[in-house]
């Protein structure tokens, strides 16, 4: 999976030498020259990242959120959660940016060492903050003396700096204010980090560096087109004003383009709406939403809900990925009647309780078209999507046969190529199926 976030570069430090003393007097000033964006670097901590247990999503979120503030990410690195490695990453970062953002390692366990690593690196002592302690005591409904030592450690904040409130956890963010640098430490869990960045870090950076709060923006969400094709079409047909900044990200066959202005006035919003209308003239068939919150799943569920229609899924080759994607989407509970998932089409046929008619062949009975009819009858559903077993064509390309059953009883099927392997292939297949349904519902 690839996402655009920090465009400059990204470095993964797999081995780091021991830290030598930091010479703060050689660092760049906290504020860049007039008119230049404030430069920052991200240091993501966690051995799980380097072991490939999960991907770094923090860089993507932070860069996307801070770019409208006039902040420029000049690098992101992943380091192990060991003090020597964190300090070496910090040493590298402060040579290149006035602001350094560290993620992870603020929890209560023994391997949560970011707090102490930053204390040693900056020379700024930690002390128990009475307000943080009071909040912790209220959270656990105990007296200060009854608070577990590992939790009480989380009430320590820098003597020179401040802290960022955490509405979703126990670890507050830490802000170490040095003479020429600011180092911010954020908790690792996304459900804690993301609200903290939006609600606490962004206002702090606005005060500290004179950055502006986010201006007006419009996000166009595309499906069925590649990022480069969208970009080229916009360049061929529309001249973007110089004050509009553009960013994009893509995943699983879906592409988001965001167009932003530094201010947020009625005139700015009108300009962005006009821009969205112009782009839609050329790419409207592939735009499914014009905001950041509506997912493709929710969009399709809302189209079905507006028709008073129902949907049933019968999955083999997609392995339940379509049902999983729709789970939790707005409108799903009103629309989705059921999901049947089996490892083979014959097992799915048995699950649906169908009986072969006289003279019917095994191939006919287990075809995706027949399974779509059986699923419609079993669930009394108007719309059905069925995926068959993965197969290969004469050229060795992997594909699945997909069938759509419509409210009038007609069934259409077609092969859909599987691009990639594993979860990535299933994610693209889900996008393809939802896009096909979206186009039939318009």
Per-residue pLDDT of 146-204, as tens digits, reads 999 999 999 999 999 999 999 888 999 999 999 999 999 999 999 899 999 989 999 99
> Does residue 3 belong to any structural domain of this protein?
no
pTM of the model: 0.62
CATH number of the domain where residue 367 is located: 3.90.950.20
Separation between Cα atoms, residue 386 and residue 384, nearest integer Å: 7
**DSSP string spanning 313-325?**
EEESTTTTHHHHH
Same domain, 283 and 250: yes
Closest by Cα among 154, 166, 226, 152 to 194? 166
CATH number, domain with residue 161: 3.40.980.10
Same domain, 175 and 66: yes
Tell me if 5 is assigned to some domain: no
User: What is the tally of structural domains in the chain?
Assistant: 3
Same domain, 262 and 181: no
For residues 43 and 152, membership in a common domain is answered with yes
132 vs 54, which has greater pLDDT?
Answer: 132
Residues facing residue 400 across a β-bridge = 416
| Residue 4 counted as domain residue | no
Containing structural domain, residue 311: 296-441
Of 272, 289, 306, the last residue of a domain is: 289
Residue 165: burial class (beta carbons within 10 Å; 0-12, 13-18, 19+): middle
Write out pLDDT tens, residues 293-334: 788 999 999 999 999 999 999 999 999 999 999 987 888 999
Q: What is the DSSP string of 8-48?
A: S-EEE-S--PPPPPP-GGGSPPSS-STTSPEEEEEEEE-HH
Asked whether residue 1 is domain-assigned, the answer is no
In whole angstroms, how far apart are CA 341 and each of 17, 49, 269? Answer: 51, 33, 45
CATH number at residue 274: 3.30.70.2860
Within this chain, do residues 97 and 198 fall inside the same structural domain, yes or no? yes
């Amino acid at each position: 999976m690839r996402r655009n976030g920090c465009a400059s570069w990204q470095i993964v430090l797999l081995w780091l030498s021991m830290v030598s003393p930091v010479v703060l007097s050689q660092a760049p000033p906290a504020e860049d020259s007039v008119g230049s964006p404030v430069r920052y670097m991200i240091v993501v901590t966690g051995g799980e990242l380097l072991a490939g247990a999960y991907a770094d999503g923090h860089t993507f979120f932070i860069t996307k959120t801070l770019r409208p503030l006039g902040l420029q990410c000049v690098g992101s690195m992943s380091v192990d959660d060991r003090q020597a490695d964190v300090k070496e990453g910090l040493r590298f970062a402060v040579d290149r940016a006035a602001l350094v953002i560290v993620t992870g390692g603020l929890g209560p366990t023994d391997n949560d060492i970011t707090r102490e690593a930053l204390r040693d690196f900056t020379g700024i002592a930690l002390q128990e903050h009475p307000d943080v302690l009071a909040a912790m005591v209220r959270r656990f409904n105990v007296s200060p003396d009854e608070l577990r030592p590992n939790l009480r450690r989380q009430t320590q904040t820098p003597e020179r700096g401040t802290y960022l409130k955490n509405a979703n956890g126990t670890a507050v963010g830490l802000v170490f204010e040095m003479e020429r640098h600011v180092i911010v430490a954020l908790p690792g869990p996304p459900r804690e980090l993301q609200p903290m960045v939006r609600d606490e870090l962004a206002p702090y950076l606005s005060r500290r560096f004179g950055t502006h709060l986010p201006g007006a923006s419009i996000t166009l969400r595309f499906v069925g087109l590649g990022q480069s094709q969208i970009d080229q079409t916009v360049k061929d047909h529309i001249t973007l004003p110089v004050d509009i900044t553009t960013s994009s990200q893509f995943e699983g066959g879906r592409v988001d383009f965001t167009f932003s202005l530094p201010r947020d006035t009625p005139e700015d919003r009108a300009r962005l709406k006009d821009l969205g209308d112009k782009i839609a003239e050329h790419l409207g068939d592939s735009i499914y939403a014009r905001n950041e919150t509506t997912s493709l799943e929710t969009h399709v569920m809302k189209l079905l809900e507006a028709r008073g229609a129902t949907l049933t899924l019968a999955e083999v080759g997609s392995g339940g990925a379509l049902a999983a994607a729709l789970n939790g989407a707005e409108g799903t509970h009103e629309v989705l009647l059921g999901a049947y998932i089996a490892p083979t089409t014959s097992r799915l046929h048995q699950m649906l309780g169908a009986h072969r008619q006289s003279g019917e062949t095994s191939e006919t009975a287990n075809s995706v078209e027949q399974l779509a009819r059986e699923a419609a009858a079993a669930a009394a559903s108007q719309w059905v999507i069925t995926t068959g077993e993965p197969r290969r064509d004469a050229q060795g390309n992997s594909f699945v046969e997909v069938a759509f059953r419509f409210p009038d009883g007609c069934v259409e099927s077609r092969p859909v190529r599987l691009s990639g392997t594993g979860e990535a292939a299933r994610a693209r297949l889900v996008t393809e199926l939802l896009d096909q349904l979206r186009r039939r519902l318009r």
